[in-house]
A = this chain, B = another copy of it.
Amino acid sequence: MIKAGIIGATGYVGTELVRLLKNHNNVDIKFITSQSYIDKEYDSIYENFRDVFPMKCTEQNVELIANEVDVIFMALPHGIASKEIDSKILEKTKVIDLGADYRISDREIYENWYNTSHLSSELLDEAVYGLCEINREKIKKARLIANPGCYPTCSILTLAPLFKENIIDIESIIIDAKSGVTGAGRSLNIGTHYTECNESMKAYGIASHRHTPEIEEQLSCIANNNVFVSFTPHLIPMNRGILTTSYAKLKDKLTYEEVKKIYEKHYKDEYFIRLTKENVLPETKWVKGSNFCDIGFKIDDRTGRIIVVGAIDNMIKGAAGQAVQNMNILFGLDESTGINGVSIFPV
């Protein structure tokens, strides 16, 4: 059994981790920590766990927990993990950080976009960007995994094969992304007050969202070239799900079948990536509650563009599910253990 600690277990990502790890046959949850709910029983905070998981939340003492567990999941706002983690911790336990602190390898870019100082930048070189389908081999040997952001997961997975095969103009990339409201977390805010966001939609963070440099670094790495993208997230009145609609100029005229082969080449053995059939496009309902990333695309001969649509569950493939997938890789388990279910529908 893998002994696990969850730091920040009472946020939305934290509770999704609790649920997934509790169901995972190879995991034993040893610690769940919280700042606001120390000593409270978990099922009095999230009552879906009523009578099923009454474990008490403890203080966020990472050093102490590191002594007792095989893996620590950090589900915290950016800036906290980098304060808590150092190489001594990593000598004791694996760390999967679901925050942003180790996702961007360039300290300066991180500090600019996040408007803060990085407190353990000496670990940036070591940290592995945990996008499983792209970095699997590196993940196997990692001590510190930076679990990708929700938008980057969907954006990068849908575009990677096009960059790998060098068929698109790297200056032409536009990613128009839409997310359900769980992406905004559990902190109270007028923008996520029910009556303020129900039955409305909006764009936010245009040309300034912090997932932009994360997407750009990974795509640049795949393209072997500096990629800059226009990335626009939108808030959509629904609980879960991310849909990205990405636009790119094709360097040459290609048919649907030709591009399909490219996707199949890279993804045909990936359990969690599913290509839709021609003329079928991903919808978030088909992935909600699952760790799948569905991808579909269309070629627009009139404009010479390819339009690729990706769909994930932002809390699962975009956060807790991918963290478990990373853990499975780290510990040599079958990659889909505990996260292989399909979406409940309609839910």
A residues engaging B (CB < 8 A)? 12, 15-16, 19, 22-23, 44, 46-53, 174, 176, 178, 180-182, 184, 186, 188-190, 192-204, 206-207, 228-230, 232, 234, 236-241, 243, 245, 247, 274, 276-277, 280-290, 292, 294, 298-300, 302-303, 305, 307, 309, 341-347
Cα A300 to Cα B243 with chains together (Å): 22
B230 adjacent to A305 (CB under 8 Å): yes
A237 adjacent to B237 (CB under 8 Å): yes
Cα A47 to Cα B276 with chains together (Å): 9
A344 adjacent to B344 (CB under 8 Å): yes
Which of B184, B203, B342 is in CB contact (< 8 Å) with A48? B342
B347 adjacent to A239 (CB under 8 Å): yes
- Smallest CB gap from A216: residue in B: B302
Can you sample 5 A-B contacts with CB below 8 Å?
A174-B176, A174-B305, A188-B193, A196-B285, A207-B307
Cα A263 to Cα B241 with chains together (Å): 35
Cα A289 to Cα B49 with chains together (Å): 12
Which of B49, B176, B181 is in CB contact (< 8 Å) with A198? B181
Q: What 9 pairs across the A-B complex have the smallest Cβ distances? A: A200-B285, A207-B300, A48-B343, A176-B176, A202-B283, A195-B346, A188-B188, A206-B298, A47-B286
Neighbouring B residues of A294 by C-beta, 8 Å: 47, 50
Given contacts A189-B188, A192-B193, A289-B344, whether A200 and B307 have CB atoms under 8 Å apart is no
A206 adjacent to B274 (CB under 8 Å): no
Neighbouring B residues of A238 by C-beta, 8 Å: 198-201, 237
Given contacts A46-B345, A342-B52, A344-B19, whether A181 and B201 have CB atoms under 8 Å apart is no
Cα A59 to Cα B213 with chains together (Å): 45
A196 adjacent to B342 (CB under 8 Å): no
Which of B50, B178, B196, B344 is in CB contact (< 8 Å) with A346? B196
Most chain B CB atoms below 10 A, which of A15, A196, A345: A345
Neighbouring B residues of A286 by C-beta, 8 Å: 47-48, 50
CB distance from A212 to the nearest CB of B (A): 8
Cα A197 to Cα B51 with chains together (Å): 22
CB distance from A20 to the nearest CB of B (A): 10
Given contacts A207-B307, A342-B48, whether A243 and B201 have CB atoms under 8 Å apart is yes
Given contacts A236-B236, A238-B199, A285-B199, whether A230 and B247 have CB atoms under 8 Å apart is yes
Cα A204 to Cα B198 with chains together (Å): 21
Neighbouring B residues of A49 by C-beta, 8 Å: 342
- Smallest CB gap from A212: residue in B: B302
Cα A77 to Cα B192 with chains together (Å): 22
Neighbouring B residues of A19 by C-beta, 8 Å: 342, 344-345
Given contacts A193-B186, A343-B48, whether A200 and B241 have CB atoms under 8 Å apart is yes
- Smallest CB gap from A52: residue in B: B342
Cα A204 to Cα B232 with chains together (Å): 19
B203 adjacent to A245 (CB under 8 Å): yes
Neighbouring B residues of A240 by C-beta, 8 Å: 199, 346-347
Cα A194 to Cα B206 with chains together (Å): 23
Cα A294 to Cα B203 with chains together (Å): 13
